[in-house]
Structure 1
């Protein structure tokens, strides 16, 4: 019992459902993690591969089975005409406008990419970009209504 006496014990009830905004925050956070790992791997010159499962139909037996395939991850950054690196945030297929009419973050050099992505990930986890996530989600919903 002496080992447990050093732990902080609390009475808490696990929530049944997570709020929708927390789920969306986690989704964007995991995509930012992928972008950070992709940037690190490109900087080091090593491949970065995330695997996903895909259901395929076997031609001989006709049965469906799941196979593991590499997930295609597109970088959210590109080099602009002026030679500076531009970073665009995405939520699903939607580009997030950080301020009105401005969707890209311009970086002086490519070595600023990883720290910038980490700052954005921290901001997402703190809930600072919730209004942008809500706007992107609403845009997707409007596309289904018409």
Structure 2
């Protein structure tokens, strides 16, 4: 025997439910807005600290940041900054601009003001003069 469905509003009060059958059987799908990528974890680069590249001859020398690229974030080393920047250049499809929040705001509350889509560097502006100098270096 079929038992009619009941809506249980509280443990002792049961209300009858009326079931209406319709001929229309549309299935609603979730609307997907924008790209459906997993959110990025803040400070994931910190997990790579202390790791270095090596080859058959041993550890490869460290790399230094150019003077106009400044690390931004609490306790961020140059090595972590380089890893963050290199990953952003290889993985991200967005323009790399650096963190746009103020240094003070990011240091006070990085969970709110840090953009996980950008590397852990202060905002960088490339001028035409910078491009010209780089072109000269490449030509040599």
The two structures have a TM-score, normalised by structure 1, of 0.25
Larger radius of gyration: 2
Write 1 or 2 for the structure with the bigger share of strand.
1
The two structures have a TM-score, normalised by structure 2, of 0.26
Write 1 or 2 for the structure with the bigger share of helix.
1
